[in-house]
Structure 1
Amino acid sequence: MLDHFTIFTRTGTVLWSRSFTPPSSAQAASASAAVDALVRHAFVEERVADERWEKDGYALRWTRANDLDLVFVVVYQRILQLAYIPDLLARVKALFLDLFTPFLRALLAHSRNSTSALSSSLRRSFAEGLKAWEETFTRTLRELERGSAAAARRNAPLLERADSTQTAEGGEDTDGAATGTDTPEKNARGDGAEIAKNVEALKARLKAAELGGGRGGKGPAGRRQVSRKVSARAGGTETPGTPGSGTESVSNTPSKKSKAPAKEMRRWEGGKVSEKHVEALDFSSKTQDGGAKDEEKGTLEGWIDEKSMGKKGEDGAYEVADVLPDGDSDDEEDEAEEGKGGFLSRFAPALGSSNNASGGFFSRMTGSHALTEADVAPALSAMQAHLQSKNVAADVAQRLCASVSRSLVGRQLGSFGSVKTEVRKALEEAITRILTPKSSTDILVEIAQKRQRGLAARAGAVGSKGSEEALEPYSMAFVGVNGVGKSTSLAKVCFWLLQNRLRVLIAACDTFRSGAVEQLRVHVRNLGQLDVGGERVADGTADGKAKLELFERGYGKDAAGIAKEALAYAKKEHFDVVVIDSAGRQQGNEPLMRALAKLVSINKPDKVIFVGEAIVGNEAQAQVVGFNEALKNFSGVADPRGLDALLLTKWDAVADQVGTALTITSATGLPIALVGDGQTYTDLRRLRVPHIVDALMRS
């Protein structure tokens, strides 16, 4: 009934695995892929609260041996109700550790210290032990399956149980007495005795191998070199909104006390927009030329900040500046903080006093022993409270604490070790794993790579029409809820792209928010007056082409269609990048989310960036998850697209309350590509993982 069972180390070394389907079958490949996905989802991204997970029709359960950095994983069909799985994991773990602990300790020491070599006798002994282990595993599995089947029969209705135990001769087989055949219970008892006998014999053989294997190793077993690595693979018409916010949710029914006429609702989805509504949205005709000229005469000093423009790298590209930490701190200061005011120190009464020699928490930590749940529970409770005070969502903080607990329980603590230190270290490691991007966040590199692929494809099509075709521009779509700063963030990204001498086309696909197109037009005019690299943007390139241009079709139009036209225009005019602005919408508004999914599925932008506020806390998680699921569910294609990256605005307002970054990344696995850190075009920053970890750990 199982599909796959594997035993591997936390570093990715597979010690033993067994597939219960033909190795070449699609089912075996699918089960193996589920294990790879589990490694990424549970152990790298820390996004699983318990030791059970489902993937592509499979259920995966696992247990750990933290003192030896081992993981035991079983994979089976999700529709099956296999009650013996927890017992199987526990027994296999106990048997495997009982047999191979000396070798596993030597392997662990080798992985932590490359100078500690594994002897050939140790490897050979382990390889021989694995041959006998196959039979031990088979008997253990058979015993549990028979016991489970017997328990199911005992719990079945009396009539059904009588029918199932009726013999071919018409007699009833009770405990095998009538027919002389073995019952499942009897077979289970026999298998248990046989397993114990085999284990003792195998241990004796391994002991003999240890004594006769020379002085090269300290354990009885050797091992076959890594068989493989467990890889952490990766793999519409706009509907109107509330005036001023982007979603239409204002009731058309007047109050009973009000005699004012009902407001006419704008019809967008499948309807025709009246000229009156389009005119109400379009502010361009209301802005006189004189007003525009007055703005052009104004100062541009407030639009850029020379100190925050980033630095020019060795390759000539402008790199976005890193987020500056709120306070400089080095290791010595961190240690002083931990001793004086670190977040775990503030919970000293809950953890127990280290000065209490008779029963203090830390006084019990003298001497090397394995940590238990009771040992780490007080520190984990303090950790969870601290994370929530940093704006981390409660469920994310709880899941993170559970992950840290699983990684610590069973780990050996040295004579001079501290539970507080181990918890802090494990927490930092877990947060770092969650926040570390699983895909590239360097947009400039992606733009260059797409251009190189286009040039290579065109070079390979010499003599055909393909050799004369223009290159496809790199495209980015900015999505998000209302009022988070999408258009402003888009303008900041455009300035950064212009710094890197890229020609940028902005596609105005917010076709219903009042003044949306005019807002982008102002940004284009402002950016056009700036000097970038000693050249004025509005002057264009040397061959007379615009460096920055706005592509718009007014209001009341299909946003997906406008984006498609913009991409075709950008390709024809040889623009390098197309930046698509979309209307703000709430993740629960199905018509609007369908329209956004249509825009993404039809135009296939290279990157879909969710723009959200860093100050909203737990709501950010619901927003990102809702957008990601809606893009996939409403796409109508076989291989749907979701979000690719995050851009968090108002980062300058969060101080050290940076929990939103951890919350969103933990819930979705999406990387944070950029953050907005101010009001000028230069206030764009790159977020470094150590900065978030430092801010989260700071009290």
Structure 2
Amino acid sequence: MGIYKTYNKLEADEEDNDKLKKLINLQFNNLMKLKKQQQVDASKESTPVLSNTNSGTNTPRKELKATGSKKMRKWDNGVMVEDNGDRSALDYSGQPQSEDGLVTDISKLKIDNSAFVKDHDLVLVNELNDILNESDDEDEDDTENNKSQTTGFFSKITSYLGGSINVDEVSKQFNDQLMSKNIAPATARQIIDKIKNKLSSNNKITMAMYKQALTDELTKILTPNVSTDLLHDIKRNAETNTRPYVISVVGVNGVGKSTNLAKLAYWFLQNNFNVLICACDTFRSGAVEQLKVHVNNLNRLNESSTSTKSKIDIFEKGYGSGDHVVQTAKQAIQHAAEHKFDIVLIDTAGRTHSNAKLMAPLKKFGDAADPNKIIMVGEALVGTDSVEQAINFNNAFGNKRSLDFFIISKVDTVGDLVGTMINMVMATKVPILFVGTGQTYTDIKRLSVKQVVEMLMK
């Protein structure tokens, strides 16, 4: 109001324009200072006093409460079941912090008893069925409502031509179908061209023949799960070598490397392997603290289990750049050998796949750490850019090394648009080890090739 009155008083006097500007600026600046001070005072009154310990981020810590009493776990006839014994070890409602002051993420401690199944002496991750079946259920109504109708373009062609089809026309339609599922255009075209070449010697192609050829090709591309082979490989290494089995996890920023590394660690613990997590993401602020929280959570779950006799720990040397990462990895492997750890899981810094300067250190790291397996975490949401990501990471380790597996994260967010899996596998010939379906340690699944192919063909 004061600024408005000053303006009205001096507006008519053209000679006092300079005075008008100075007075208005002065009053406006004083008003802003007063307003800012009031906001600061109000903030101080409403902000709770926080502990000086945190999980390595700038986000104020809220008190974490357990949503319910936790269940003990044990194996009964090959299935993980709940144990009604003492559950106090898993009730963290009164202790949101670990002993070293790190905040424990209670949400990660939710255990899905159906996530694993025991097969002789191995604990296997179940297949990805529930999420895919949800999509199947959603389509049931549409199927029932269209029982008396044809199934679109393909059925019209089949009916019109008396069983045979125009391969070029059908190929175009299936090419569009694959791209609609997030398969990159070049990849879709490559698949369809291969089908056309395979069928070129036959003069009378039916829709059933074409669809079967495409189904077989997609199934061939998606290599069957290899998790059982990995477990046997680790067991053989533990029996015959003093050097631990080293697995390095790489990927672009934000895809969930650390979370999926923790899921791997939990799975290995279920198989009674001793796991050492190495913090080699020494660039991102809070990365080491994040891993400490995961290890703390996994330790609590592991100690409460009645079916495992394994241990987990973290090896870290703080933050640094250049040779610091290489030296940390080497020391972690040596430490693991001396303290009888079966597996070393190495977390690495996220990096942009198109930045050659950021990708270059991966070769030096790979040569020094010499991991038994290199796993790239890719994101199901990425779509067609996944091709370039997969190729660049696969080539980053030089001519002698390449990626061994993919973990595709956030599969629960894309519905039936699962083409990213085809993109990455076809671009590199690297198989998918697991797919991630959520944030807890049991949100991990083996790829159900049959169901993924069915989704692509819908």
Which of the residues 372, 377, 387 maps onto 1:611?
377
**Cα deviation code 1:260-316 (max 9, x no counterpart):** xxxxxxxxxxxxxxxxxxxxx99499999x99953349794652333443111222x
1:429 counterpart = 2:216? yes
Cα pair distance change 1:692/1:446, threshold 3 Å: same
- Distance in 1 between the 2:104 and 2:373 partners? 35
Return the letter of the residue paired with 2:217: A
- Distance in 2 between the 1:606 and 1:298 partners? 31
- Give the drift of 1:602: 1.3
The one of the two structures with greater contact order (alpha-carbon pairs below 8 A, sep at least 6) is 2
- Distance in 1 between the 2:234 and 2:441 partners? 21
Which of the residues 150, 154, 157 maps onto 1:352?
157
- Distance in 1 between the 2:449 and 2:293 partners? 35
Aligned counterparts, 1:625-644, within 5 A? 625-632=391-398, 640-644=400-404
| Corresponding residue of 1:488 | 259
- Distance in 1 between the 2:318 and 2:228 partners? 33
- Distance in 2 between the 1:506 and 1:526 partners? 13
**Cα deviation code 1:291-350 (max 9, x no counterpart):** 9953349794652333443111222x21111101523899xx99x969968xx932248x
Cα pair distance change 1:353/1:318, threshold 3 Å: closer
Tell whether the 8 Å contact from 2:108 to 2:297 is kept in structure 1 after alignment. Answer: no
Which of the residues 267, 273, 290 maps onto 1:519?
290
| Corresponding residue of 1:555 | 319
TM-score norm. by structure 1 comes to 0.48
Tell whether the 8 Å contact from 2:407 to 2:433 is kept in structure 1 after alignment. Answer: yes
Cα pair distance change 1:286/1:305, threshold 3 Å: closer
| Corresponding residue of 1:394 | 185
- Distance in 2 between the 1:426 and 1:532 partners? 50
Tell whether the 8 Å contact from 2:115 to 2:445 is kept in structure 1 after alignment. Answer: no
1:294 counterpart = 2:96? yes
1:592 counterpart = 2:358? yes
- Give the drift of 1:472: 1.1
Tell whether the 8 Å contact from 2:432 to 2:447 is kept in structure 1 after alignment. Answer: yes
- Give the drift of 1:501: 1.2
Return the letter of the residue paired with 2:109: W
Tell whether the 8 Å contact from 2:253 to 2:350 is kept in structure 1 after alignment. Answer: yes
Cα pair distance change 1:627/1:299, threshold 3 Å: closer
Tell whether the 8 Å contact from 1:656 to 1:696 is kept in structure 2 after alignment. Answer: yes
Classify the secondary structure of the residue corresponding to 2:193: helix
Cα pair distance change 1:303/1:438, threshold 3 Å: closer
- Distance in 2 between the 1:452 and 1:497 partners? 16
Where does structure 1 lack aligned partners over 5 or more consecutive residues? 1-280, 355-359, 366-373, 455-470, 633-638
| Corresponding residue of 2:274 | 503
| Corresponding residue of 1:646 | 406
Classify the secondary structure of the residue corresponding to 1:318: strand
Tell whether the 8 Å contact from 2:55 to 2:290 is kept in structure 1 after alignment. Answer: no
Aligned counterparts, 1:300-319, within 5 A? 300=106, 303-315=109-121, 317-319=122-124
| Corresponding residue of 1:666 | 426
- Distance in 2 between the 1:505 and 1:482 partners? 23
Cα pair distance change 1:431/1:285, threshold 3 Å: closer
Aligned counterparts, 1:55-454, within 5 A? 283=56, 294-296=96-98, 300=106, 303-315=109-121, 317-325=122-130, 326-327=132-133, 345-348=151-154, 352=157, 354=159, 360=160, 362-363=161-162, 365=164, 375-411=166-202, 413=204, 419-437=206-224, 442-454=229-241
Classify the secondary structure of the residue corresponding to 1:530: helix
Cα pair distance change 1:284/1:391, threshold 3 Å: closer
| Corresponding residue of 1:529 | 300
Cα pair distance change 1:581/1:533, threshold 3 Å: same
Cα pair distance change 1:582/1:519, threshold 3 Å: same
- Distance in 2 between the 1:307 and 1:377 partners? 49
1:688 counterpart = 2:452? no
Classify the secondary structure of the residue corresponding to 2:396: helix
Where does structure 2 lack aligned partners over 5 or more consecutive residues? 1-53, 65-93
Aligned length: 363
Classify the secondary structure of the residue corresponding to 2:247: strand
Tell whether the 8 Å contact from 1:282 to 1:555 is kept in structure 2 after alignment. Answer: no
- Distance in 2 between the 1:396 and 1:585 partners? 25
Tell whether the 8 Å contact from 1:601 to 1:640 is kept in structure 2 after alignment. Answer: no
- Distance in 2 between the 1:584 and 1:441 partners? 28
Cα pair distance change 1:392/1:531, threshold 3 Å: same
Classify the secondary structure of the residue corresponding to 1:529: helix
- Distance in 2 between the 1:299 and 1:511 partners? 22
Cα pair distance change 1:407/1:568, threshold 3 Å: same
Return the letter of the residue paired with 2:325: A
Tell whether the 8 Å contact from 1:339 to 1:345 is kept in structure 2 after alignment. Answer: no
- Give the drift of 1:382: 1.0
| Corresponding residue of 2:416 | 656
Over the residues paired in the alignment, what is the CA RMSD in angstroms? 3.5
Classify the secondary structure of the residue corresponding to 1:352: helix
Tell whether the 8 Å contact from 2:278 to 2:345 is kept in structure 1 after alignment. Answer: yes
Return the letter of the residue paired with 2:272: R
Identity between Structure 1 and Structure 2 (%) = 37
Classify the secondary structure of the residue corresponding to 1:626: helix
Tell whether the 8 Å contact from 2:105 to 2:297 is kept in structure 1 after alignment. Answer: no
Return the letter of the residue paired with 2:271: N
- Distance in 1 between the 2:389 and 2:305 partners? 41
Q: Which has the larger radius of gyration?
A: 1
| Corresponding residue of 2:46 | none
Segments ≥4 residues shifted beyond 6 Å: 284-288, 336-339, 438-441
Return the letter of the residue paired with 1:610: M
Cα pair distance change 1:338/1:420, threshold 3 Å: farther
- Distance in 1 between the 2:375 and 2:179 partners? 26
- Distance in 2 between the 1:567 and 1:631 partners? 19
Return the letter of the residue paired with 1:295: Q
| Corresponding residue of 2:336 | 570
| Corresponding residue of 1:181 | none
- Distance in 2 between the 1:559 and 1:299 partners? 27
Tell whether the 8 Å contact from 1:442 to 1:673 is kept in structure 2 after alignment. Answer: no
Cα pair distance change 1:691/1:284, threshold 3 Å: closer
